[in-house]
Amino acid sequence: MTTTPRLLFFMTLALMGALLPFAGLMAEQTQEAEREPGLVLVSTIKGAIGPATSRQIEAAIAKAEERRAEALVLRIDTPGGLVTSTRDIVSAILASDVPVAGYVWPSGGHAASAGTFIIYATGIAAMAPGTNIGAATPVTMGGGGMPGTPQQPPARPGQTEGERTSPSNEEAMSKKATNDAAALIKSLAETHGRNAEWAEEAVREGASLSAREALEKGVVEIVASDIDSLLTQMDGREVVTASGRKILATAGAEVEHVEPGFMVELLALISNPNVAFLLMMIGVYGIIFELSNPGSFGPGILGAICLLLGLYALNQLPLDYAGIALIVLGLTLMAVEAFTPSFGVAGFGGLVAFVFGAAMLVDSENPDFQISWWTIMATAIASAAVLILLLGYMLRAMRRPVATGAEEFAGAEARVLEWAHGEGYVHIHGERWHARGPAELAPHSTVRVEKLDGLTLIVR
């Protein structure tokens, strides 16, 4: 190698060595730029999990994906809710391209039952100090003992031990529901690397944990006192989303709270079984009033709107079809009583069917999604009052003298206008009528009508 090429070679090496630190610095700056914190959306879930909650979370996820948010945080404080809504929420979270974090908040709050499933479905599980999670056992329809440990009823005469220990249909359905819930929460735990054994205990045995215990047992990843602390601890963690694994850059991110939209708030209001039930009743009575008084329009229009809103809200809830059938039968019988009086037989029979149907209408043991007995009794008393008024009006109408036709003249008083030879004209009910009667009657005298003969009154 000659001197000149050798010199060029060493100069090139020296230049590369000088530029190497700058290249490393540029790579670090590029990496920092890629991990620059962005936007984090926060949606607060409070109260029972139902159709409105499902709609709220789906809308929040859609907005987070549209805004290309770094993460969506669900602040949760719930006693539980409907299975159908919970599964819809879990499916929406698992299908999200944006990382979703579940945060049990505030202190004193809890994520019980359905809330436990939602926390397990999120990519990051967190709790505030003073909160708890668990108690996710599906409630049996009959409200009996825990599935898997059924209480044995006393043996009937002639019943074998095998017959005595065989599960009833209710126990079998409860066991199926529990096994299904346990399989779901174990699958969610395995997806995000959480404690699957405790998750199964929460479903089968109703186990519950405090925030610190949940962190120690691997049920949650973070215990944070507020959103800022949560975002700091989330930063740099890897989470699983529908589009693959992502590393979070949430430290110092801009936080924006997502408020429920008008339709979500409306659904939350009318999906309350008591409100939905009252809307349906107002609708039915409004339509009945419109049919009995054609042309009033107002009650019919208001009734139709309330009935449609009530039916839409009830359609979002788990309904018992026997309860629906009894309510329809009850309302039909009460309508029959209103239009074709049957001395209260149809009306009060319909009232009994209505009360039983209302008690059975919503197929859920969750008290937040049951029709209150106060609501049932209030509507039953109002319906009974309407029936009593109709019955009283009918009885009074039966006792009232006939006011039309020939019978209305019998016994009525009339004043003689003209009279001669046993006949003449009298004034009665503001009209002039031809009459026959005694010959000695004189004008301006008062007579009483005996009957109507054709178009002639017979007087005395």
Q: CA 20, CA 15: separation in Å to the nearest integer?
A: 9
Domains and CATH numbers, the chain: 35-141+172-263 (3.90.226.10), 271-399 (no CATH), 406-459 (2.40.50.140)
Please name which of 56, 88, 83, 48 lies closest in space to residue 267, comparing C-alpha atoms: 56
Rounded CA gap, 219 and 104, in Å?
A: 12
Helices and strands in the chain, H and E counts = 15, 16
Strand 100-104 with 71-77, pairing: parallel
Instruction: Quote the CA–CA distance of 187 and 182 in Å, as a whole number.
Output: 9
* Per-residue pLDDT in tens (0 to 9) along the chain, 460 residues: 455 666 665 566 666 655 555 555 554 444 444 445 589 999 999 999 999 999 999 999 999 999 999 999 999 999 999 899 999 999 999 999 999 999 999 999 999 999 999 999 999 999 999 999 999 988 643 333 333 333 444 444 455 544 444 556 777 888 888 999 999 999 999 999 999 999 999 999 999 999 999 999 999 999 999 999 999 999 999 999 999 999 999 999 999 999 998 888 988 888 888 998 899 888 888 887 887 777 777 888 998 899 899 888 888 788 888 888 998 898 888 778 767 766 678 878 888 888 888 888 887 777 777 888 899 898 888 888 877 877 776 677 666 665 556 677 787 889 999 998 888 999 988 889 999 988 888 888 889 988 888 888 888 8
* pTM of the predicted model over 0.75: no
Q: Looking at the DSSP assignment, which residues form a beta bridge with residue 256?
A: 41
DSSP conformational letter for 321: H
Q: Among 16, 206, 231, which residue's Cα sits nearest to residue 116?
A: 206
